[in-house]
Structure 1
Amino acid sequence: MTLLKHILAIALLAAMLFMGLQKFGADNYIFATIAQKSGFAFFEPGFRMFSGVLEVLAGILMFHPRTRGAGAVLASGIVAGAVVFHLSPWLGTKVAMAAGAEPSYSLFTMALAYLVLALINLFLNRQSIPFIGRHLP
């Protein structure tokens, strides 16, 4: 079970770093779409950069067993937020990944897979969740 916990933690670490580091490049079509459809300009680049920082932080927290609970909590919240945006009229479940690209369900499917991975890590590392973890079975 310990090996499985480490493998799943590394998988979530890699996912969070992969997604987070992508947020620091040029303008992001997904966040630009959310900004345009919602009417809130702060989504691109402000919220994109903020979410990137949080994703990288979640990945870093997944590195050490003592901080994995906090990393899993943060990752679960971030990815749950992504799923909510996919379910909103601002983004949708079928999304083009770039201007002129064919829309697909791949980003939504990836968000759901990362959410499952984050929640599994949250359960497996529940005892290292700050403040409440030591009181959980």
Structure 2
Amino acid sequence: MDFIKKHIEWAPVIFMVIILSGSLPFKFTGHPQPTHIFNTVGEWLGLELFKTYGAIFIGVVELVASILLLIPKTRVYGAVVALGTMAGAIFFHLFTPLGVTVVWMENGVPQEDGVLFYTAVLVFICAIWLILRRRHELPIIGQTTSVQ
């Protein structure tokens, strides 16, 4: 039982790393789906820079989160980075023209996918769980104060 208690967080960590790092080849190679996503969000934000470099920037952030998650001493920081990134993804899916189900054109054929939103929600939940589990490791939040 102690073994399970000690190592239980590896399950959500591995899930998060698979999701975060699994999208990197698409973000870094200009695949039509992330291109559409970042063009839509960049257009909505009015930021040409985000349309051009948003996928690469977010990809680097997700790569950093993945690396931090894999190292037990930095895991809580990886969870914080993942939480912030997924909060942004969830926000943009819900409150911009992007939508929960992303629809884009690939080779002249319309494609649609709602998986990205739901995986973002699952990573968000896993990140919250990890942060709560390791909150004592966070500066300020994890500090205990004694009342005299």
Matched, 1:24 2:32: no
- Give the match for residue 48 of structure 2: 41
Distance 1:14 1:107, change over 3 A: closer
Distance 1:35 1:43, change over 3 A: same
- Give the match for residue 62 of structure 2: 55
Distance 1:98 1:128, change over 3 A: farther
- Give the match for residue 132 of structure 1: 140
Secondary structure at 1:114 match in 2: helix
CA offsets 1:69-110 (integer angstroms, 9 cap, x no match): 110000000000000001122311121154443434322222
Larger mean Cα displacement after TM superposition, 92-101 or 80-89: 92-101
Unaligned runs of 5+ in 2: none
Aligned counterpart in structure 2 of residue 73 of structure 1, from 54, 73, 80: 80
Following superposition, the deviation at residue 47 of structure 1 comes to: 1.8
- Give the match for residue 121 of structure 1: 130
- Give the match for residue 12 of structure 1: 16
The structure, 1 or 2, with the larger RCO (C-alpha pairs under 8 Å, 6+ apart) is: 1
CA offsets 1:91-134 (integer angstroms, 9 cap, x no match): 111211544434343222222112112211222222233x2354
Following superposition, the deviation at residue 39 of structure 1 comes to: 3.6
Distance 1:21 1:57, change over 3 A: farther
Between the aligned partners of 1:16 and 1:132, the Cα distance in structure 2 is: 27
CA offsets 1:35-75 (integer angstroms, 9 cap, x no match): 34444222222122111111000000011111011100000
- Give the match for residue 2 of structure 1: 6
Report which of the two structures shows the higher radius of gyration computed on alpha carbons: 2
**Moved segments of 4+, more than 3 Å:** 36-39, 97-100
Query: What is the Cα-based RMSD across aligned positions, in Å?
Result: 2.2
Q: Which of the pair is proportionally richer in strand?
A: 2
Unaligned runs of 5+ in 1: none
Between the aligned partners of 2:125 and 2:102, the Cα distance in structure 1 is: 20
- Give the match for residue 114 of structure 2: 105
Distance 1:113 1:101, change over 3 A: farther
TM-score (norm 2): 0.78
TM-score (norm 1): 0.83
